[in-house]
Structure 1
């Protein structure tokens, strides 16, 4: 879908996850001024017991006709599981873009994706489902970012890069142009990727090398 779909919000937003990432998404949502009410939910029974959240993810089901949901959890596997849960329940999983980011008008953004403050996404890019484009990161022209990827704080993706599903690009990492990275890869903080990565695992260093 094109990112102009993001303006078609309902009146209420539920953010799933009371972690630090959830708080950042809450701040983003308030800055966007698209919702009249924003509520954080969490399945942590202790948080429900002390009244910090009104309930877990099931709580949003009562508001399916008037609410959007978004998952504020950094773990890709958990994020995927919850997004799929809401899709099965036919609740709209929205995407959010911070007003102080810059995203080209032709960028395609799937459901559940968040683009944080200071991020830049250049023309011709596609962002999959449940992607995190974190604070002050950049994705240059004609990149394809797979489902449930995390482009961490201050990382930079050069042009015409293809990143597979469930891949984590660490804080301050750099991926050179025309690179392909397969599914299920973790790139360490500050690493520099200068050649294709076709085997899942963890890669660190300059240039990035597999360590596990």
Structure 2
């Protein structure tokens, strides 16, 4: 596993609430936030009052130059779209209180928040969010652009497909495979495999609809 931060300077894309939490992680790790970009330059970001939020259309003509980026946006599809737009280098941010097994692997652009636990032999892809106090046990595979919400618990040998959102407090039992671009409702208990694009809620979890707008 690499160090918790690969760079001493970071540029952020996104200036809303999710960005504020990432700024806190970076600040505690001694990383300087040198630039913040957003489609809406009027957004506030109180943890870095001296930084101007810049509209991307005027300032990202050459995004490959300068410090690496983190996409500071919670919505999985938006992170996916912006990553394709930027086509630049990314770095990761891992809170100093997160517990990371040395045999885990974390992709670029991924953010891991306070109190999260990543256990042995887990692979976390690019631009993933492992939120506050989430637990990801051994031998998990977390694909790109996933968001695992606060207090979610993934047991061993779980696989989560690209772009899936695991809601707060959800529990995934061992050896379950969750498809891509799914939504797992807060507090759900997932006892069996979940197909691509499914929206699942309840205990035990049941499919209530499909995310048709995400199906290509």
TM-score category (smaller protein):
0.7 to 0.9
- Alpha carbons of 1:187 and 1:7: their partners in 2 closer, same or farther (altered >3 Å)? closer
d(CA) in 1 for partners of 2:73, 2:195? 27
Matched with 2:129 is: 132
d(CA) in 1 for partners of 2:163, 2:28? 28
Check if 1:187 corresponds to 2:178: no
Matched with 1:74 is: 74
d(CA) in 1 for partners of 2:13, 2:106? 20
Q: Is the 8 A contact 1:113 1:128 kept in 2?
A: yes
Q: Is the 8 A contact 1:86 1:93 kept in 2?
A: no
Relative to its length, the structure with more helix (as a share) is 1
Q: Is the 8 A contact 1:165 1:183 kept in 2?
A: yes
Matched with 1:53 is: 52
* TM-score, structure 1 normalization: 0.88
C-alpha RMSD of the superposition: 2.1
**Secondary structure in structure 2 of the residue aligned to 1:79:** helix
d(CA) in 2 for partners of 1:202, 1:27? 32
Matched with 1:202 is: 199
Match of 1:8 among 6, 9, 23: 6
d(CA) in 1 for partners of 2:155, 2:136? 6
- Alpha carbons of 1:158 and 1:69: their partners in 2 closer, same or farther (altered >3 Å)? same
Q: Is the 8 A contact 1:103 1:122 kept in 2?
A: yes
Check if 1:151 corresponds to 2:148: yes
* TM-score, structure 2 normalization: 0.86
d(CA) in 1 for partners of 2:9, 2:69? 8
- Counting matched residue pairs gives 203
Gaps of 5+ in 1: none
**Secondary structure in structure 2 of the residue aligned to 1:28:** helix
